[in-house]
Structure 1
Amino acid sequence: MAYIFADLHNHTTASDGDFSPGDLVALAADMGINVLGVTDHDTLDGLDPALDAGKTYGVEVFPGVEVSVRFKREFFTGTLHVLTYFSSALLKDPGFVTRFKTLLAQGRGQGLVRARIEKINQVFGPGGESPLLSRDLNFEDIAAYSDNASRRHFAMALDEKLGISDKATINRIIGNDSPAYLPSGVELEQVKRFITSEPVVAVLAHPAAGSFPGEGHYKEVLPPVETVAHLLPEILDAGVKGLEVHYPGHAPEHKALLLSWAQKYDLLVTGGSDCHDNANRPVGASGADEQEFNRLKQEVLCAEKKSR
Structure 2
Amino acid sequence: MKRVDLHTHSLASDGSLSPAQVVAEAKAEGLSAVALTDHDTMAGISEAVEAAKNSGIECIPGIELSAVYGEKEVHIVGLFLDEKNPVLAEKLEAFRKIREARNLKMIEKMQLAGVDITMEKLREAEGDGVMTRANLARYLLHIGYISSIKEAFDKYLSPGLPFFVPKTGVTPEDAVRAIRDSGGVAVLAHPLLYKFSPAELERCVERLKDYGLQAVETFYSTYSAADERAMKRLALKYGLAFSGGSDFHGSVKPHIHIGSGMGKLVIPYEVLEGLKRLRG
TM-score normalised according to structure 2 size:
0.72
Quickly say closer, same or farther: Cα 1:287–1:37, change in 2 above 3 A: farther
- Cα shift at 1:91: 2.9
Quickly say closer, same or farther: Cα 1:236–1:287, change in 2 above 3 A: farther
Give yes or no for contact 1:273–1:287 (8 Å, CA) kept in 2: no
Q: Distance in 1 between matches of 2:32 and 2:213?
A: 25
Match of 2:138 in 1: none
Structure 1 residue ranges (4+ consecutive) displaced by more than 4 angstroms after TM superposition: 154-157
Q: Counterparts of 1:48-87 in structure 2 under 5 Å?
A: 48-72=46-70, 77-87=71-81
Structure of greater Rg: 1
- Cα shift at 1:262: 1.6
Q: Counterparts of 1:181-260 in structure 2 under 5 Å?
A: 182-183=166-167, 186-208=170-192, 210=193, 222-224=194-196, 226=198, 227-260=200-233
Give yes or no for contact 1:196–1:238 (8 Å, CA) kept in 2: no
Unaligned runs of 5+ in 1: 114-147, 158-174, 211-221, 304-308
Q: Distance in 2 between matches of 1:264 and 1:295?
A: 17
Aligned-residue Cα RMSD (Å) equals 2.6
**Counterpart code for 1:233:** E
Q: Distance in 2 between matches of 1:176 and 1:238?
A: 30
Structure 1 residue matching 2:7: 3-state secondary structure: coil
Match of 2:269 in 1: 290
Q: Distance in 2 between matches of 1:6 and 1:103?
A: 31
- Cα shift at 1:31: 1.7
Moved more, 270-279 or 42-51: 270-279
Match of 2:144 in 1: none
Match of 1:261 in 2: 234
Q: Work out the percentage of aligned pairs sharing the same amino acid.
A: 28
Structure 1 residue matching 2:89: 3-state secondary structure: helix
- Cα shift at 1:184: 5.5
Q: Distance in 1 between matches of 2:23 and 2:110?
A: 42
Q: Counterparts of 1:130-209 in structure 2 under 5 Å?
A: 148-153=103-108, 176=160, 182-183=166-167, 186-208=170-192
TM-score normalised according to structure 1 size:
0.66
Unaligned runs of 5+ in 2: 113-158
Q: Distance in 2 between matches of 1:83 and 1:228?
A: 17
- Cα shift at 1:284: 1.4
Quickly say closer, same or farther: Cα 1:69–1:4, change in 2 above 3 A: farther
Match of 2:120 in 1: none
